[in-house]
Structure 1
Amino acid sequence: MKKISFPIIHAFLFVALFLGCKKEASKNIVAPPSAGSLAFKSSAANVVLTAATDAANVVTFSFNAAKFGVQVVPTYSLEFDLPADTTGANAWANAVVVKLPAGTLTKTYLGADFNSLLANQLMLPTGVASTLAIRLKAEVTQNTGAGSSIKPIYSSLSMTVNPYKATIEYPALIVKGGNSWKTPAARSNGFVLTSAKFNGKYEGYLNLPNADGYGGDAFQLVSSKDVSKVYGWGGTSTTMSLTGGNLYLTPAPAYMKVNADVDALTITYTPVKFFISGDDNGWSTSATPLIYNATTMKWVAANVALTAGKTFVFTANGGYDISYKVDGSGALVFAGAPTWGGINIPVTKTGVFTVTLDLSAGDGNYTYSIK
């Protein structure tokens, strides 16, 4: 048998090693996927949200796994923004970013969660359709969670959304009627004071047409946080206690703005009548009254002539100490003394309308409509 020389063996080994290394190196070449390969899509092109959709699945975002050509596990996030914020030097800078769990290729939203994202985080106007921009981001991160040198891959889509103004269930003092006054057993609009700042101060509007002393609309206030705390008479018409009987009023029978402080144990009542004051009536605080509807518990003014581009304010009792305007998102806010804030309510169309002011749900949930 012939002997194979060692130089030849060494040459074969070198070639085999070289080919093996080349094959191994080929597995580590990064080849970012195209945006189209992600097949990013939404289950709905148009989503209209209401209280009835809170517990329903309203939209699902789905996509394919991003294959970067190497053995890595990408991380994914969804970015939600307004179309106007998706271009320019600061594109997507104001986006709401939702990071998805590892290995997740879908994201389904319940109506309540999607509405919160749209109305509270993005501050989209409620009750009207808006265009929403959504971007999928697929990226490779280091073991520490920090970004890597591999550039992220993006895929975008848009959809139409119509969020609604959700009523937040703030801590409340629930009206419990005294004497012969029957009030709802459960928390109900028109019979509640709320703490919009989640502190000891509560506010609401109550219709007390029989507030005529000891024989009238006497009541107590029951804490929604602790039903064992029942606030009643504190010795005077403006004080409360946890041991007293029914609260009684000194104002004449009326629709009242009621403020209660459970820390200071005080309560005040202010009879109110509301008006529309604006450009179209020369900012009169008496010319355009709203009429209280005891059945719907709303203030209504019918046949109100309004002009597009003009503004108005809800005023009370012939002045601005108790008045309501809107904030930057269009929500109704207190604008009277001593804060003097808010933005005049804009009129978007010219015509004759019915204007409604609804103060029945307690502070933080006051609303209005123009139809």
Structure 2
Amino acid sequence: MLGCKKDESSNVVVNPSASALAFKSSVSTVVLSPATDAANVVSFSFDQANFGANVVTTYSLEFDLPTDTSGANAWANAVVVKLPQGAFTKAYSGADFNALTGVQLMMPTGTVSTLAVRLKAEVNQNTGVASTIKPVYSTITMTVNPYKAIVEYPALLVKGGNSWKTPAVRTNGFLLTSSKFNSKYEGYLNLPNADGYGGDAFQLVSTLDASKVYGWGGTATTMSLNSGNLYLSPSPAYMKVNADVDALTISYTAVKFFISGDDNGWSTSSTPLNYNATTGKLEAANVALTAGKSFVFTCNGGYDISYKVDASGNLVFAGAPVWGGINIPVTKTGVFTVTLDLSAGDGNYTYTIK
């Protein structure tokens, strides 16, 4: 009787090393701006993982802040991008990479920060049961400078009445926006008292449906569809305007903004911002600021209407009834021009110190 020997299986899984993946990015630094939106700003590439067996490997990229990449919950807040089968590269346009870093990861805009990117190679079982084969990771870091993207929220466009001529297209300074994509709209308007009754005559045209034109609702605080002109007063004035197209209500507050902070003893009246009719922004020139100190944009001598920043440095409403936000930090000592730009509508308010 002839003896026989069973061949040992060659289907043995061996995890590759991280270096074998040759994970890399095409650039080490990415500076983003509206001009780079359509361009390919970065590509990630890697080699196919060899587990030493005939297995199906899936890949994903994980993007996170370096502070979230260690400890018990490492990478828990990462943005995970799964790659198609057979893909060993992933390219990003400027717009997509800005959305990933500046919006999803909420990295600070207008400043250079470090981004951690991790490649994950894993073997999944077709039964859905978790695989016993450990994933292989390879991590790189790069620097990114995102920019604050202006989101085109739904808007109500100001249509001047009588002889008041307003832009025919969507223009900053002549709109109210809905930052939560609901019925509530907000913005700041300069009403030059064209020839309205007790104020400026205008209507509000919806960007979602141009046939919806909101006008006079019978009182100064109500609206109706396809009616006469709204007349808001006092005027001339720079106004905070809020409208609700479901409730058909509108409210308005004449406003005067100030810089209140450590450098002026938190005065709510000594450092005013003045409206620039050319730019549509509020400006204060020759403002002395000291590094390490902070300030708040206050209004009308108090804090009911005020603006601070969030943890990412974005300008946020901090007045009643919210009472939130972080005082705006001063990073350099000197004399500056401070600009508060409320012209793009709610959700797109910004400020600069130059």
The answer on 1:108 being equivalent to 2:91 is yes
Q: What is the match of residue 270 of structure 2?
A: 287
Q: TM-score, normalised by structure 1?
A: 0.92
Q: What is the match of residue 4 of structure 1?
A: none
Q: What is the match of residue 133 of structure 1?
A: 116
Q: What is the match of residue 52 of structure 1?
A: 35
Structure 2: distance between partners of 1:132 and 1:33? 25
Structure 1 residue runs without a partner (length 5+): 1-6
Does the CA-based 8 Å contact 2:204-2:214 persist in structure 1?
A: yes
Q: What is the match of residue 332 of structure 1?
A: 315
The answer on 1:167 being equivalent to 2:136 is no
The Cα of 1:214 is off from its aligned counterpart by 3.5
Q: What is the match of residue 358 of structure 1?
A: 341
Q: Which moved further from structure 2: 300-309 or 142-151?
A: 142-151
Whose strand proportion is higher, 1 or 2?
A: 2
Whose helix proportion is higher, 1 or 2?
A: 1
1:233 alignment partner, one of 210, 216, 227: 216
Does the CA-based 8 Å contact 2:163-2:195 persist in structure 1?
A: no
Structure 1: distance between partners of 2:129 and 2:157? 51
SS state at 1:213 partner: coil
The answer on 1:149 being equivalent to 2:139 is no
Does the CA-based 8 Å contact 1:140-1:147 persist in structure 2?
A: no
Structure 2: distance between partners of 1:144 and 1:323? 56
Residue 144 of structure 1 aligns to which amino acid in structure 2?
A: T
The Cα of 1:216 is off from its aligned counterpart by 6.2
The answer on 1:314 being equivalent to 2:297 is yes
SS state at 1:214 partner: coil
The Cα of 1:346 is off from its aligned counterpart by 1.1
The Cα of 1:229 is off from its aligned counterpart by 0.3
- Measured against aligned partners, the alpha-carbon deviations of 1:45-80 in whole angstroms (never above 9, x if no partner) come to 111111122222211111111010111120101111
Residue 79 of structure 2 aligns to which amino acid in structure 1?
A: V
Does the CA-based 8 Å contact 2:63-2:79 persist in structure 1?
A: yes
1:264 alignment partner, one of 218, 239, 247: 247
Does the CA-based 8 Å contact 1:179-1:217 persist in structure 2?
A: no
Structure 2: distance between partners of 1:196 and 1:263? 16
Computed over aligned residues only, the root mean square deviation of the Cα atoms, in angstroms, reads 1.4
The Cα of 1:267 is off from its aligned counterpart by 1.0
Structure 2: distance between partners of 1:83 and 1:305? 35
Structure 1: distance between partners of 2:220 and 2:79? 49
The Cα of 1:341 is off from its aligned counterpart by 1.6
SS state at 1:119 partner: helix
Structure 2: distance between partners of 1:144 and 1:370? 58
1:243 alignment partner, one of 204, 207, 226: 226
Structure 1 stretches of 4+ moved >4 Å: none
Q: TM-score, normalised by structure 2?
A: 0.96
Number of corresponding residues? 354
Structure 1: distance between partners of 2:249 and 2:55? 63
Larger radius of gyration: 1
The Cα of 1:326 is off from its aligned counterpart by 1.1
Structure 2 residue runs without a partner (length 5+): none
